[in-house]
Structures are given as structure tokens and as C-alpha cells.
Structure 1
Amino acid sequence: GKLYFFSDGILFSDPHHGSISISKNHMTSISLYDGDSTSIVAALFIDFKSSLLAHLPIEFHAQDNFLMIALFPKTKIYKAFYSQVFSSWKNQTNSGLSLRVVQEEFLSVEQKKLHSSVQKLFNALSSSGERCRELKISAALPELERFVQHFTVSSVSHEPIMRAHLPILLQQSEIIPDSKAESDKVVITIITGLPGCRCSDLCAFLVTFNKERGRWMVYRQTMDSPECFSAAHFQRYLSGVLEAQQNHSVRQSPYTKKNKRLLVVLQGYTDVIDVVQALQTHPDPDVKSSFVIGAVNTCVEPLSCYMEHRLLFPKFLDQCSQGLVSNVVFTSHATEQKHPLLVQLQSLIRAANPAVSFILAENGVVTRNEDIELILSESSFSNPQMMRARYLMYPGWQYEGKYGAGSVFPPMVQICVWFNRPLEKTRFVTKCKAIKSLFKPSPFSGNIYHIMGKVKFSDSDKVVEVCHNTSSNSLSLVPVQEGPTPPDSRSDNRDCSSQQEFFLVFIGCSLKEEDIKDWLRETAKQKPQRKALKTRGMLTLQEIKNIHVKRHLDPLPAGYFYNGTQFVNFFGDKMDYHPLMDQFMNDYLEEANREIEKYNRELEEQEYHDLFEQKT
């Protein structure tokens, strides 16, 4: 076809459509996009009035009422347009319409799509070989690239993908549409890590340091559960939080409302994806839409990462996984940044999660404001790159919680024992320090790696929080601050009169509850043993000497005298001991056995309670 430009319009002549004239009276605007490059197809976009539709062939009708005329670079029409038409149309003012040169961001989605197809056709015609064939196919099938992109995303898993997330995965959008305002949601900050990683220390620091950020709530897993994380318990907790929040909001003035934050502290062999899926699969849609995960942070204590040599504890790398974890917080060696162990772990974690941020927080204390902002981020988890990685790493995570996190290997057992009697501090510390020397190699049966809980020692009335990490052989005994405590989760199933006050959680491989109780009994006050009656053969040489010293001046039998150093009889025989020494020893044994019998009787009368016996 041929194209003619006039001062008042355009004439297009084509054998298939005949002659089509487009007067400027039917136009609303004329725009030119050429990308400021001679390798980009120049596109002339003509927005027209609906009155022109009656004069256009049906195939030229568009929803947005615009036409595009493509001018391929280095062609005659391209050169003629810029040399003869461009300047006159751009400076023309008598008709009320002038040519505007626009940038790509001012084009509509449909205009960008149309120009992209024409650009691909131009590239195909300008190329040769295999690349030419690919470009020609792409140009002939404008939707092929979109199909391939969609196929790439959908082929990862058999599970469906949420409609709202599809534009993010196809990189068509960077914003997730949400029906509920972000300001109305409770932001969840997850802090996880292996036992002994000082998650609780970081949590305490954040709550204390950031009170001005709003109202804080803290969720911790129940200690007496055999599971590291209970999805059902977490979901019930979220329901309770939402109900309490709604009741509080009714009574609260809108001017005094503060943002709500929930810190989820999970210290154990927990998969973060289980926590995410517990929220996504909450049976109450109101609860599900009222919470949003802000960021996931993993605490790492370098000395507590390896079971043996370079064998990592289970779930270590899973807790640093790409697509879920935004920050890894190192809670020790913060002042030794070149420490070989720290450097080695950072390299390992970086290989598993290239985009993760490293934060140094000795004993859970964060020293930089930028790091605190990272930990408490409200949008890190929803970052488009994180979401794309999440769909790739955890197929089905968003759909009915169908992603299975996998089992813990080597299997770790968590046993919680409750008791209500004090322990002996010295015995307890000695037993804890001796655990590491009793470690067994693979399969690690009976190895105790972590002990934590609350106890009372006989030398004090204060309750002490215990945290023992066997790998680093560190024992922490911190008095519990007095104040209100949350209700015990066990109260649902036990009678209040039988509640026990103290507990310890033992984590290790193939542990048995009876073995743990026997171990713990040895740290309590031991029941005194009955004393055996003395016999002549049990007397020590020192005891015999003491008897002699005490009674060597007792009256002598007839025929004996004492010369000051020895005893001499009638015949001149000398002895070192009193002639009645046998009688003296019998008297001594008789008196000693009376004392032993008295002690044993008193011992029998004493009441002794086993460590795990219920108080009455």
C-alpha cells in the first residue's frame, strides 16, 4: 500500500481495502514514538473520534480508538517522513492538532503491545540464520513469548497459582492487589532458628527498643508439645488475636490507635514454610486477610550449627531458604567478623540464599538502625522477587498448604518433663557440663543437644530460666522477672490442683522419657542411704589408734603395769596396746552401732518425695 501525508490528514491506499482517508477533523491527537534511536521502529499513533469508525474497515476497529502506522528504519517512507512531514506537522497550529513526540512510559498497554509486535517483525527481517527463524516465529505469533513465559511459571508445579499473584510471576506487575488496606493488617515478623540461637534475646531486644512502633504481641510455641510447631495451635492463637483486636478497636478512639505487630518466635527444628502455610490455610478468611507477613529472620549461633565435624543440624539451611528468609542474624562472633567459622557459614548460607542480608547482633542486641529496619520490614516477604523464588522453591505453598516440608533427619526428639521440686544447682551444672563428653557418633542415639526451661534451685527462692547448648557447652541461668505470665497451655487438659511448677525441655536424638527422668533425678536432692552396722573388720587403723588414745590409761588387769610407753606383763612381755583392747573395741562398736541404728530409724521416719511426685 501507499501512504500520503497532507496538512489536513492522511490518505492510505491499499489493494485490499481501497483508499482510506483520515481527516484531522476526526482525530483527537497525533503522537510519535521512535525511542530516540534509529534502530527502533517509529510508530505514529492516531487517536480518533468514534465518528471515524463508520469509514474504517472492521479490522481497523480497536477498543481504544487508535491507529498505529509503523515506519521501519532505513526505509524510504521513514526517511521521507522525517525530512518532509515531521517538522511541518510538529509546528502546525492552524488545524488545532500538532504532532507530539512521546516516550515509552506515556504509551498505553495496548500501544506498547502493538509496537512490540512490529519491532519483533523488524528485527526478524533484519536478522539472519537461526536467530532470524526464532524472531520470525515470534513475529508471526505475537502471543508466543507470553505463552512461553506463562508456561515456564505454570510448569513448576501441578498445583494452581493464585490469580492475584500471576502478574507478579509473569513480571507484568510489581504490586499485589489486596482488598484490605495494609494499615489495617497486623504485621507478622517471624524470628526462627535452631535451639540455642538466642531467638528470645533478639525478640526481647526488639520489643524493648521499639515500643513506639505500636502494640506488640509475641507468640512462642508451647514447650510441652512433641512438635516444634503446631499449625492448629498457631491458627487458634491468630483467631484469638483478631477477636481481641476487634473488641479493642470498638472501644478505642481512631486518634489513639496504634499499629499492631506480632512477633512469632520459633526456636527449634521448624520449617518456616509450615508457619506461612498455617496462615494461608486458616479456615477463617477474615483472619487470613487480617494478617500479613512482613519479614522472616533466622538467628544463627555459629557454635551451634554442626552436629559433628561439618554435618549441619537438621533444617539449618531450610531456615535460611531463598524465597522465605530475608535476613540472617548472627548472634555471636559479631566482633570477630573474620572468624573462620563465621566466614564459612556466611559463604554456605549465601550459596543457598544469594539475596539474604547478614546482620550482626551479639547476644541478640542489634546496634544499627538500618538492621532493625530490615528485621521489622513490613514488605520484605511480599517482594516480587521473593514471591517468584517462593513459587519455584515451594510449589503449592499458596494452595491449601500442599507443600510438604519433609521430615527432620537425623530425627530429633523433644521431651518436656514437669516437676515441682527444686534442683541442686551444683549437681545440675556438673551434669550439664558432662553431657558433651558422653556424645556418641552417628546415629547419635541418646545425645542431648539442648536443654531449656524454668526451674528452681534449693539455694534460692527465685525461678530461673535455663538454656544449655551442648555443642558450645554453654549454660545460661537467668532469674525470671516477676510479673504476670500467660496462661499455661496445659491447663486445657489438666486439673489445676495437679499443676506442676517447673519444666525442662530436652532435645536430642532417640531420647527416652524414663532415661531423661533418671538423669534429672540425679540433679535433685538425693535420698540418704541407710548406714550399715560396723564390725571388727571394718575398723580402720586410725579408729583403733583413737580407741587406744582414749582408753590407754584405763585400769589394767592383775599382772600388768604401764611403763609410760608400753604395757608389760608379769613375765616381762611388752605390748603397744592395752591388754583389754579387744574389750575396748567391742565397746566402741556397740556404741557406734547404737548411733547407726538411731540414724536409720530417723531416716525411716523421714518423708522423701520423688522429683516427679505430685505435691499434695
Structure 2
Amino acid sequence: MPLTHLKPKDRQKEYVPVYFSPYIRLNSLRALMRQHQCDALVVIPGVDSRFSTGASQVVAFLLFDLFETHNPYIIRSQFEMDVFEDFIICIKQNEVHLYCNAVNHTLLVPFTTHWPNVRVHCASESKMSNIDEYENYKMTVFQMLVKDCKRLVVPCLDMCGAMGKENFTKMMIEEWPIIQSYAFDTEHQCSREFFTLSRDIIDIPHELRLLVNRIDPVYLETTLVRALLSFMGTFESIYRLFDSLVESKQLSSRANPNEPLFSLYQHSAEIHGLLPPYLLYGSDSSRQNLVAENIESKSSDLQMLVESDHMVIRGYEQPSGIVCERTNFIQQPNNASHLTDRTLRSEKKLRQIYSKLLDILWKTTEAFNDADSDLDQTVFSAQNELKGHLQSESFSSLEVKLTYPWKNPTDAVTLAVLSGAVYDIEDIGGSSMGSVVAADTLIISTLRLNDICLSRKVINLTATIPPTCIWTRNPIPIDMTQINSDKKPIFNEQLDIILAPANTPSSITVTCTCFEDYVIISGKRVGISQIELSNVLHYRPVDMEQPELLEFTLVSSDITRDFLNSALKCCILDGRMDGALEKFQNPTKFSDTETVRTGNNSASMSIWLMLKPKTKAKRLFLEQVAPVWRAKGILRQSDCLPNRQAIRAAFITTVLSRDTQSVLSDLRGLSFSQLKFDSATQAGLYSLNQLMTEQPSAKAWLTIHQSELRHIEASWSLDTIVEGISSAYDYALCCGIHLKSSNVPPPDSAWADEILSVLLRNSEDKDISLLWTHSATNNESSLAETQDNICREMRTKPLHITVVCGTVGSRKDNVVKNVVDLVKEDTHWIQILPATPSDISSALETAVKEYDALLWSTTESYVQIRGILLCPGTCGARDVLKAVHRLSSNESTKQLVHRVRIGCVVTCVDTRAVFIDGGRMTFPGLLEMLSEGWTNYILSTGPPKSQQVAATKFGVKMEDVEALLHSVNPKLSQLPAPEGHVDRGRILEALLDEEAFNGPGLKRARLLSYPSLNTTLGNPRMHAVTLRFARPVERVRFTNHLKAIFANLKPWPFYGNLYSITGQIGFTGEPDKIYDVLHLTLNGISRISVNIDDSDSSPKRKANKPFWLTGILAAPPAPSKESDEWLSNQFANWLRKSAPQQEALRTPLRLSDLSKADLEKIHEKYHLHPLPAGWYYTGSYYVNMNGDKSFQHPNFDAFVQEYLEGENTKIAARNARIMNHPIPDLFSEPS
């Protein structure tokens, strides 16, 4: 089966979140297995499970919707979908098995590379060409996967549709083809046991459903955002229907706004226990109808629209659980003189109550951002405050509540619905006018470090849906003469006005009619409002693509006007940048004495409008309005920064403008066939619903909310209990984070702030502010840099260490030796060479003390002191930082912690030694060392490209190995160092970089990945055993045993496998020579060469024991005295086989020990001896006088006994000689 069609024409990078999902999603499934006490979770998609929906959903969860996102690639490959779905995932507590084929292997590897202890069983192309061999191999692997598993989780049922309607039974999976094939062994033509009779099979669709729908970063980017944009498009469709409905003179059922709302709900299978949507007018919006569960009472007749002043709407998107509630108003036309005073006061009352409800909800949302606040207590305080504001009003009841659609309030990231309602409001006459409601869906992200709450951030998903809309029934054009008859407008164009409900900025388009002394703002959904002009500030950005901003400062009379209780209420913002930032940095806390949003601090309130670049409105404003207002002293240009929310709204507008232009240009270039395969969605473009309702694309939404997404990613990544961490200081040390401060020990809160700043680096406020002015940020940064330089000069410079790590056989020791030899001039090296990972702490302590001694003794200031650390075994930077943390726990070494800095970390890799276990598994610990943030470079220490072999000893192609290493961490640079030799130039310069390890991106990666790496199941550790001896070994025996090591490697868990041997030995018959030994099992290197240097400079050589060998063996993860002794004995016994062997003592011969050949030889020797009387020998046989005939000598038994006595005498003499001259044990002391 040729694979040429598999290679994509345009090789694009596959994005797999390195910090978060590869570990947490897999570990979450393992947690379910432990909860149900199962041995394994087996996922079988495709035809082998009869296209099980449950299996497909788990595959989509684990592999990030692989088949949906790669659908065009699969279609181009010209293979059937069944071939791509032919794989099995078996998750066990300590390993993961993946069965796949040569076709889907290229798709699966980028998404499974990061799984710890993953074992890949891939059916080769040759096996796939023979269907019988292909199926036999699959069944062999499947049988091996489920062997010794007595209780299994097998996803089968649909987590959504079938849940609660169908119960799982074992017989459901007995119909699967792979289960039926398991029952019959085709190779031996015999029956096996039934799969379900010998095992306990369970399915847990409810738990899996809750797990799959947890709001992790991948779910948010792929599923929730898509549902949100569709939901917002539905709301926009409803509002557009209202636009046409209120403008028409007669009602039409064709323009019924109910249809989009209820069809979205009724065509969904998910049920979250939330109330269904509704659309009710006027008095129909009673509490009884709002809280009713039957959908029949959730809509009003269109005739109610004629008599009603307001309507309430509730949208509910399933299965995501997004909810939005709004109260909108319908006002009479501006010339409606028939309205009574009672009607006007009732309408005004509804708006005032709804305005106060919005104030409370927005204030509650802001208060949620305080990490120290209790959410339930905040909601309770908000409800009490709302009651206090509405004491003079008549209504039946009110409520403010926080609900969780997925019933997961304790998750690090959770979906919550904050809602408020005032039910059955009465007018002056005591009649019920209906209710007002408001609700928004929030994502609450809580960033915790064990029990320490570092930060909380709230995303209001539905904030861009206007808090309220005001439609004018049968509107007519605004008669300006009714407002001011002696003046004509100087400007009448459409501008964008900024809204920021709950500090979530957005904008809507309004008609701005400008006069010399006032401005009228009107719109189809915002009503009509008039602003008196007192002070207008004009802000111009540095980036000309950003819109310019106009700030209209409101006077007290404007703030108390009715328009502030209309659709423009959330347009009122703080006019000061410093005040806005202070409010953002210190979130609001509820107290009963506080005022609402537009309370006493009204003097600084403003309304903001945007002048978009390259628009007619901007040109006309600058030509016609600006000169007039500037002459009257109303308009002036400001050199300060605008309000934070205004800056962000301008940034969002720019992003959406660019997004729309790119989308439309891309759509023009797409053919119908490309659109048919949803290529627009793959490119991050608009869906049809988004395009028709002018919603942003998913890509644009993610760009706008990138700061919040960073917070969500950090919250999920740190949502794991990290052992040994009791404070932010501990966590910072373990991740290599240091404060830029003086020698005074900072408090733990400073470390928490530093961790938070690193996790949420590239603060969006600072970046966006640079688009407007450079003065404020540059002055602050230059001052901070000056102070930092002063502090850096005041404190002692730390010892910068280059950390060299790598797997067994990576020649990392050669790298250290080569770097030290190359850099000698004006440099003093402190070499740190711990023997075991547990010795790193003591080695660092010794190095720092040596460094301090050198600082005091060295008089030459030009001599630079550097440190270089060779990591033992398979430990890396994470183990070094753990050793630093251990130093901090000891009072005597606590001060040494801040004297050590890791400058650069390099990981040495020989591509020949990447895989073990038949090529099914990477070397334990390698992927963890290569994780982003924990290493700076990969040093390729294999042979040069010209001498490189085509494949490893297990048959894995070298190009596949390099692709694997690249997929683990695509940001890593691979530097050549053949056989560990480093040349002068950029490679050496990179290794000597003192700040490479402290880049902001690397620090953030370490903070995010440390919990997952720390909780990863323990890999076998590489234990070094050094044996010293004084006696030579036999060359032939030794070389034969070296060759046999690879063939004798054991499978998982590999304990006792010998992967490396180095040392110096002597051979029998060559007393004056010492040989250097280097044997690397996986690399295929085995060298025995004469040692030229006769000195005893080697630290492992001793005068009485000149020979030594160090073997690196696989050991259990937890060090113990028993396991170490067992490994030492095993290595010693292996080496004893190469020494001169003691001859074995022979036992005396017995008659039964003689073979037929032995008896024939004895007879041949004695057949002519004299015969007894009466016997004659004919030459062929023996005969006596009685006629008896025999082919043996008559005295043959005596001859045999004589032979046995003679041989036993020799054996006794030999045994005595051996016992008198024993060969000493290889490890015995020399005499």
C-alpha cells in the first residue's frame, strides 16, 4: 500500500498545547479509572467497535478533535476513513499503549508524543498489504493489551443522547468485530474464552461527559467559542427581526422573533437542568411564567407587543450551557402626544429599576475578580444591596443568584451564570407591569497554587450582547426644530460609541448629530439622547490604524437625565487612565454602604466615541465639527492616555476590522468545493451564521481575549497538588524564578506577584498603551531598569552554571570536557560532577563555597568564574532546581540558594539511542528533559551526517526520530556536536549564555508544566554501578558477553537492563596493558582500546585495584538499598562470567554414566585379553565348549570395573589439584 498520498502538500505545524493538555487530559481519565478501580481504559473507534459514539467522543477529547480538524487532509490522502480510524488506545495506570497503522501513524504521533510511557505498536506497510497478516497482528496486539486486565472501562454509549435512556450491558460490545475476533484464535484454529465472561466490563458515560465538557483551554478554543459565536448570531437575528417588526405598521407572523430562539433550544439533545428560553412582553413576564418549566408559557402573542412597554428575553444554547437574559424597552414615537402621564411614569419606573439591577450585576462581576472574595457571599451582599436600592418600589420579589450549568463550582475554570430579576413590578395603580431580568454567562478562572489562591479572572461571554435595547414604535425622522429651532446640525454621521458593561468593552454604531453646543445620539436600538457640551477631549494614537477617540465629559445635569437609564447607560466610563487602572488593579468589594456605578463620583464620568481611520465620518468631523468646537473652547487635544476601557475598545475595533477584511478576501478566493469541506472554518474564518449576522470569527475572538486565555491556561495547568510546595517561594525556586530585588529577603507575597506576572506576561494593558503614547511606559521602564542595575551592582554576582544533561550514551561527558578545554583563557571553571541525582545538592553547595573562596582570593578582576554541571543518569534541569530547593530548606545552606543561577541548559541526544523496547517507546525521561522551558538547545551528539546510519538498531528511521524530537518541542534549536565535540563559534557562544534559561517565555513554560511533570508516573531511573577489581578478564569471553547485552534486553519495566559500560580493564596474557572500554547498548558502539596514559589520575582507579567498570542499569523509580544491592550483584555476576573460570569438580564415574561408545572403546581395548578355560575367539565372536555364543569378552564386566577404578583415580587427583589451587574471585583483594 503506497504512502505517497499521505504526505501533505503544505506541511503546517500541528499545534498541540505543550503545557496543558498532553498530561492533564490523560491524567483525568486515569483519575476516573482509579475511582472505579479499573485496570485499563480501552478506546476502540471505527469499524472494530461498529462506530461506537462513546469511543469517538473519547478520541475527540484525547486527540483534540483530530478527525474534524484534519478532514481536508484525510480527503486528499485517498484512503478510506476506516483506515484512519483503525487504531486502539489502551490507558493503564503506568503506561499507555497505542496500536496504529502506517497510514494514521503520521496523524497520531504529534498528538501522542507527550504522553508519558507511551508504547506504539504500528502495523507496517508490508503487513497492511496482506490482510490476513494485518488482522493477525492487530489481534496479537489487542490480546497483549488486555492481558491480566480483570476490570476494564470501554466507552460505548453516547455521552449525550443515550445517557439516561439506555443502560450499558456487556452484550453490547460482544457484537463488535474485534471482540468476536478475539473469541477465536485464527492462528491456532481454536476458541478462546469470551471476552466479557473473563473480565468485568463497565461504561461510565455520565462521568466521561462531565470530563469531556470541562472548560480547559482546548475545549474553550475549539467548542465553546464556536457555540458562543453561534449563540450571539442567534440573538442578533432576533433583534433584527424586532427591527423590522417595530417599524412595520401591521404585525406579521413571518417576522416572529420566537422562531430562532426556540428552534435552537428544541433541536438540542442536552439537558442541563436550566429553565428553557423565553420571550415575553409586558405583563406576561410574570414570575409564574418566567420560572415555569413548560415551554408553552415561555412566549407571548405578538398582539401583546402593541400594548407593552418592555419585553424580557432569555436565550439558552445547548449543549454548552450559555445563557443570556435581557430586558428591552419599546418606547412611543417622539411626537406621541396621546401618552398619559401615568404611562410615561410607569415606563420610566421600569427603566430605573432595570438600571439599578444592571449596576448591581456589573458591580458583582467586577467583585468576582478579587481573589480573596467569596463568590457566594458576594452574591448574597449584592442581593441585599439591590433590596436596599429598591425599598421604595413595589414588587413581589427579587433575586440575584449564581448558578453553574455543569455543576462544577470547585473546578479551576468553570462556567457560571450570574442572573438577577425583579419580579412583578407594580405601577402607581397597583397593577403588575411584569418583571425585569438580566443574566450573563461568565467563565470564572481561579489560579491556585496548592491552597494558595493567586488570582481570579472573569470573562463575561455575553457582554457584547447589548445590556438593553430601546426600540421606537413606528419611528419617524427626528424633527430637529422641536429640539432647537434656530440651529442646524453641523454633522450628522454614524460613529461607534463605546460600551463597557462590567469592564468588558465593546462598541455599537449610533447616529451622532452634532450642534455647536450639544450632541444628539440616536439609533435603531438605543433611543434618543442629548448631551450638553462642556469639555471634549481628542485622543490621537501613535498607530494610525487605531481609531481616534473623543471623550465627552458629562456635566451633572446630563448624568441625572433619563438617557442614563436607557440603552446608553453602560457607555458612561471613567475619564481618567490612572483611575481606571487603579480600579482594575483593586477590584471592587461589596459593602452595604457603597453606591452604584453612577453615584457620587459623577464629575469624572464621560462618554466615548470612535473616529475610525479612512472613513467619511472622520473626515467630516475634522473638517466641519473640530474647527467650530475648538474655536468655542470645547474641543482640545489631550496628550494623556485615554481610559483603559476605551483603549481596549479601540484595539478590539481594529482587530475586528482587520479580521473582516482578511475573511472577505479569503472568501473571495475560495471555490464552492472548498467551502463544501468547510475550509473556511479550518482557516479560522466565518461560519455562515456569523457572516450573516456580522459576528467576529473565532480567531478574532481568541485574539481579543488572549489575556484571559493565558489566565485560563495557567489555572488549569496549576490545578494539581504539587508535593513539597508550601509557599510561592518554594514553587518559584523549583521553576527557576528569581526576583530582581536587593539582598533583603522578600515576603512570600512578592514571590506570588512575581509568579503571577510571569504567568500573565506581556500584559495587554501595557502593550495596547504603547499604541497611543511612548512617554509613560518608557519612563517607567527606564526608571525600573536603572533601579535594577543599581541593585544588581549592590549584590554579589551569582555563579552562573551551564547544565549539560542527556540520556545514557549521549556523550554528554565529552561535551563538558570539550567546553572546559576550549574556554580556558581568563576563565576559571568550577566543574560540578555529582555521581547520582541525590548528590546534586551537596555538589552545588561545594561549588558555591569554592566560588566564594575564589572571589575573595582572585585579585585579577578580568578572570571570569563559570560553573558547568554534568547531570548524572537521565536527570535534567528540573532535578537541579529541586536540589536548589532542598538547599533552601536547610538553615545552614539557605543563603546559598540565591548564589546559584542556571545560565543555559543543553540536552545531549544521540538519535541512535532515542528508542527502546523494540522501537515502541522513547528512552525514559527524554521527553521530560525536552519539554519547553526546561532546556535551551538539543545537542546532536551522534555521528556526523555523512556517517549517520539510516535507522536505529530497532529499525526506526532516523528521519522519524528527528521528526519526533521536533514535535516534542518545536521551539528548540538543534545544534550539531558530533561525538560530543563542540567547536568555537555560535554553538560555544550559545552554551556560555548566562541568560538563556531566564527568558520570559521559558519561565512561563516552566511554571505551567512543572505540576504535570512532577506528577507524571515515575520512569525507570538509570542507576550507575561502579565495580573496582584487580584481576584481568578473558578477552573472548568479555567481547562475547558485550555483544549479547542487546539481545538480552528485557521489556517493561526494564529493571536490570544494562545500557552503558565504561571503564578500564586488563586481559589475561597481557599483564602490562590497560584497556579503555566504552560500550553503548542502544547506539551500537563497542570500543576497546589501549590506554595510552599510564598515570593513575582517574578518580575511579586505585593502586590495589587498577581496573574498574561503571555500568548504567535501569532501576525502579524510587531509590532503595535493596534494589541498588540487587543491581550491583547483577552487574557483578555479569562481569564474573568474563573472568577466568574456576574448573568445576568432577564427580566419580558410575557404570550408568558410560555411554555405548565408551563401552565399545573398553571392549576394543580388552577384547584380546586371555580367555577363561573352555572359551575360544573366532575373530568375530566368542564361543565355549558348551556351544554358548557371545559378542563380548567373558570377563568384560571386570574390564569395565577396572576402567572405572582407573578413571575415578584420575578424577580424584584432578579434583585435589583444583581444590589445592583455587582461582580467586574477580573482586577479591589481591595477595
TM range (shorter): 0.5 to 0.7
1:37 aligns with 2:653: no
1:598, distance to aligned residue in structure 2 (A) = 8.1
Which of 782, 801, 808 is residue 188 of structure 1 equivalent to?
Answer: 801
In structure 2, distance between residues paired with 1:515 and 1:121: 67
Match of 2:837?
Answer: 229
How has the CA–CA distance of structure 1 residues 266 and 433 changed in structure 2, closer, same or farther, with 3 Å as cutoff? Answer: same
Q: Which amino acid aligns with 1:356?
A: L
Q: Which residues of structure 2 form unaligned runs of 5+?
A: 1-515, 520-529, 552-573, 582-603, 612-616, 661-692, 723-727, 733-750, 764-780, 952-956, 1117-1125, 1166-1203
So what's the TM-score if we normalise by structure 2?
0.35
Report the residue type matching 1:384 in the other structure. P
One-letter amino acid matched to 2:1132: K
* CA displacement, residues 40-83 of structure 1 (integer Å, 9 cap, x when unaligned): 22579xxxxxxxxxxxxx9869689xx99977313565445766
In structure 2, the partner of 1:157 is 718
Q: Distance in 2 between matches of 1:429 and 1:323?
A: 42
More displaced 10-residue stretch of structure 1: 239-248 or 328-337: 328-337
The 1:112–1:242 alpha-carbon spacing in structure 2 relative to 1, beyond 3 Å, is farther
CA distance in 2 between partners of 1:86 and 1:481 (Å)? 91
Distance 1:438 1:416 in 2: 21
| Mapped partners of 1:130, 1:389: distance in 2 | 33
Give distance in 2, aligned partners of 1:605 and 1:468: 37
Aligned to 2:1226: 611
The Cα of 1:191 is off from its aligned counterpart by 1.7
1:423 to 1033, 1039, 1045: 1033
Question: Could you say if the C-alpha distance between residues 338 and 145 of structure 1 is closer, same or farther in structure 2, counting changes exceeding 3 Å?
Answer: same
1:296 matches 2:905: yes
1:495-536 C-alpha deviation (Å, 9 max, x unpaired)? x9998963432414787544433321121233356689999x
- Cross-structure match for 1:247: 853
CA distance in 1, matches of 2:629, 2:1077: 85
SS of 1:518's partner is helix
What residue number does 2:927 align with? 317
CA offset digits 1:88-109 (Å, max 9, x no partner): x9xxxxxxxxx9998xxxx8xx
Q: 1:373 is paired with a residue of what secondary structure? A: helix
Q: Kindly report which structure 2 residues correspond to 1:184-223, keeping only aligned pairs within 5 A, or say none.
A: 184-212=797-825, 214-222=827-835
Residues 106-155 of structure 1 deviation map (CA, whole Å, 9 limit, x = unaligned): x8xx66847624625877999985559x999x99xxxx986665454344
Give the partner amino acid of 2:805.
T
Q: After superposition, where does 1:459-538 map in structure 2 within 5 Å?
A: 459-461=1070-1072, 464-477=1075-1088, 479=1091, 481=1093, 502-508=1108-1114, 512-528=1127-1143
CA distance 1:82–1:468, change in 2 (3 Å): farther
C-alpha displacement of 1:429: 1.8
1:265 aligns with 2:826: no
Contact 2:1078 2:1088 in 1 (8 A): yes
CA–CA distance in structure 2, aligned partners of residues 367 and 418 of structure 1:
35
Distance 2:656 2:818 in 1: 64
Gaps of 5+ in 1: 1-10, 23-30, 45-57, 90-98, 223-227, 398-402, 491-495, 548-588
Partner SS state of residue 289, structure 1: helix
- Matched residue SS, 1:610: coil
**1:94: which partner in 2?**
none
Counterpart CA distance in 1 for 2:902 and 2:931 is 16
Query: Following the alignment from structure 1 to structure 2, what is the Cα–Cα distance between the partners of residues 148 and 365?
Result: 43
CA distance 1:150–1:316, change in 2 (3 Å): closer
Deviates further, 307-316 or 341-350: 307-316
| Higher mean C-alpha displacement, 346-355 vs 429-438 | 429-438
TM-score scaled by length of structure 1: 0.64
Confirm or deny that 1:432 pairs with 2:432. Answer: no
Q: Which residue of 2 aligns with 1:351?
A: 967
Counting only pairs closer than 5 Å after superposition, residues 37-436 of structure 1 correspond to structure 2 as: 37=544, 39-42=546-549, 72-73=610-611, 74=617, 77-80=621-624, 113=644, 116-117=647-648, 119=650, 130-131=695-696, 149-158=710-719, 160=728, 162=751, 163-172=753-762, 180=792, 184-212=797-825, 214-222=827-835, 229-230=837-838, 233-256=839-862, 258-283=863-888, 284-307=893-916, 308-336=918-946, 339=950, 341-367=957-983, 369-395=985-1011, 403-409=1014-1020, 414-436=1024-1046
Quote the offset at 1:463 in angstroms: 5.2
CA-atom RMSD in angstroms: 5.5
Contact (CA 8 Å) 1:34, 1:43: kept in 2 or not? Answer: no
Q: How far apart in 2 are the matches of 1:195 and 1:125?
A: 52
SS of the equivalent of 2:912 reads: helix
User: 2: distance between equivalents of 1:59 and 1:82?
Assistant: 20
Query: Which amino acid letter does the alignment assign opposite residue 282 of structure 1?
Result: L
Which residue identity does 1:240 align to in structure 2? T
Out of 475-484 and 264-273, give the one that drifted further.
475-484
Amino acid of the residue matched to residue 519 of structure 1? W
CA 1:432–1:596: 2 relative to 1, 3 Å: same
Deviation at 1:156, TM superposition (A): 2.4
Cα displacement string for residues 177-198 of structure 1 (whole angstroms, at most 9, x for unaligned residues): 7965699222222222221111
Deviation string 1:395-437 (CA, Å, 9 cap, x unpaired) is 388xxxxx3453115x766544443433333322222122233
SS in 2 for 1:235: helix
Higher RCO (Cα < 8 Å, 6 or more apart): 1
Distance 1:121 1:506, change over 3 A: closer
Distance 1:480 1:234 in 2: 32
Residues 288/436 of structure 1: CA separation in 2 closer, same or farther (3 Å cut) = same
The alpha-carbon distance between structure 1 residues 43 and 369, as it changes in their structure 2 partners (threshold 3 A), is farther
Distance across 2 between alignment mates of 1:326 and 1:358: 9
Determine the C-alpha separation between the residues in 2 that align with 1:604 and 1:167.
Answer: 77
Give 1:305's aligned amino acid.
V
Give distance in 2, aligned partners of 1:590 and 1:135: 101
Q: CA deviation at 1:442?
A: 5.5
- Residue identity opposite 1:238 in structure 2: L
Counterparts in 2 of 1:165 and 1:533: CA distance versus 1, 3 Å: closer
How far, CA to CA, are the matches of 2:536 and 2:1096 in structure 1? 84
Partners of 1:424 and 1:370 in 2: how far apart?
A: 46
